[in-house]
Amino acid sequence: MFSFIKKKLGWGQDSTSTPAPSAPAAEAPAAVPTVAPSPVATSAAPSAVAAAPAPASATAPAPADAAPRRSWLDKLRAGLRKTGSSIAQVFTGTQIDDALYEELEEALLMADAGPSATEHLLQDLKRRVKEAKATDPAQVKGLLMDAITELLQPLEGSLQVGAQTPTVIMVAGVNGAGKTTTIGKLTRHLSDANQRVLLAAADTFRAAAREQLLVWADRNQVEIVSQEGGDPAAVTFDAVQAGKARHCDVVIADTAGRLATQLHLMDELRKVKRVIGKAMDSAPHEVLLVVDGNTGQNALSQVKAFDEALGLTGLIVTKLDGTAKGGVLAAIALWSRQRHAPVPVYFIGVGEKLEDLQTFQAREFAQALLS
Ligand SMILES: Nc1nc2c(ncn2[C@@H]2O[C@H](COP(=O)(O)OP(=O)(O)OP(=O)(O)O)[C@@H](O)[C@H]2O)c(=O)[nH]1
Ligand SMILES: [Mg+2]
């Protein structure tokens, strides 16, 4: 038996006393605190769903923007400091010589950049040093920041919703990567942007997983489709149908964690994707992979494997506040360059709070990596 839990959009309302009205799509949540710049771009025009730089928020006042963004940057910096200090230390000497490049190679490898991206960055840096006729290691550090920024830039992109109604987003990843938490945060951002969201609890594997998503749905006062011990594809199909019938703006499907090597589970994920397409032509519009930044080079293997199975449209890299060293973004960027189209990193996660989900910006990330 499917359970539909319909909530009126609105933050901080008593959910137990809230009846289950059909909330009109345009109904705005009352007094919802906003975190800006909004990580989600919404579009009413039926244009192509594409990664594009986030538009500046015209409504959010600048001081309100600055505080959360700064605290997020501080967290990212703190998280990457281990790496940052070791890369930054390479430039404390007085000479630009082979020893400097050797130390840098080691530091980049230690930062999880992997052999290919490390080699790419070293070659690019040497070219920049030559062109700039640099003589001071501090100058070389600035040039490395430019090289990292340029490599990471194609990964910038903002999630677009609104081109299709509903925009159907499927979320996948290995166990514990941060899928459900990220969906919760994302749902809140979408609700803040007056988007009507419906969640599909397609992680039917564990009762606890369903409950976890129910808690997020309750917090965000959004609708959820879940089924006890059911087939994930059936739950998702039903959610997309419900999303269409109720004129939802966005349907997000949470899936159970799995390793790419668990072939039957990867088949199950393919089936979920196929069935979404049966429920709505052109869907899913986004297939997102959530990767834990702490997993180092393994994150790149996950990206490759899930992309091969599902055809990814975007990435979310979580836990960059932990022991993550951040260099894996360079490895992903290099891989993405060689792919037919880049896979944007829509968000990075630097903690468990709502404001800890932020858009990815190449230069900020490069600065945090080297600060
Ligand atoms: N420090 C930190 N913790 C995070 C972040 N994102 C998620 N977490 C935590 O990671 C743990 C796992 O998160 P979930 O959202 O349950 O992960 P999941 O991918 O849904 O896990 P499964 O459904 O079991 O595969 C939780 O304790 C989250 O609070 C982040 O950016 N930073
Ligand atoms: Mg989960």
Decide: residue 346, CB within 10 A, 0-12 exposed, 13-18 middle, 19+ buried. Answer: buried
Question: What confidence tens digit (pLDDT) does each residue in 5-40 have?
Answer: 222 222 222 222 222 233 333 333 322 222 334 556
Distance CA 17, CA 13 (A): 8
CB count, 10 Å around CB of 15? 14
Nearest partner of 303 among 276, 272, 333, 274, judged by Cα: 333
Nearest partner of 37 among 14, 16, 4, 62, judged by Cα: 62
Q: What is the DSSP letter of 176?
A: T
pLDDT, position 19: 28
Secondary structure string (H, E, C) spanning 39-103: CEEECCCCCCCCCECCCCCCCCCHHHHHHHHHHHHHHHHHHHHHHHHHHHHCCCCCCCCHHHHHH
pTM of the entire structure? Answer: 0.84
Residues facing residue 254 across a β-bridge: 171, 201
> Is the CB of 232 within 6 Å of ligand 1?
no
- Compute, in angstroms, the gap from residue 161 CA to the centroid of ligand 2: 22
User: Percentage of the chain surpassing pLDDT 70?
Assistant: 80
Question: What confidence tens digit (pLDDT) does each residue in 52-73 have?
Answer: 333 333 222 333 455 666 677 7
> Is the CB of 249 within 6 Å of ligand 1?
no
- Asked if residues 26 and 345 have their Cβ atoms less than 8 Å apart, the reply is no
Average pLDDT (212-220) is: 90
pLDDT, position 204: 86
- Asked if residues 27 and 248 have their Cβ atoms less than 8 Å apart, the reply is no
Question: What confidence tens digit (pLDDT) does each residue in 172-193 have?
Answer: 999 999 999 999 999 998 998 8
> Is the CB of 180 within 6 Å of ligand 1?
yes
Ligand 1 atom closest to the CA of 175, numbered from 1 = 25
Supply the residue whose CA is at minimum distance from atom 9 of ligand 1: 178
pLDDT, position 26: 32
> Is the CB of 258 within 6 Å of ligand 1?
no
CB count, 10 Å around CB of 344? 23
3-state secondary structure of 200: strand
Which one-letter amino acid corresponds to residue 221?
A: Q
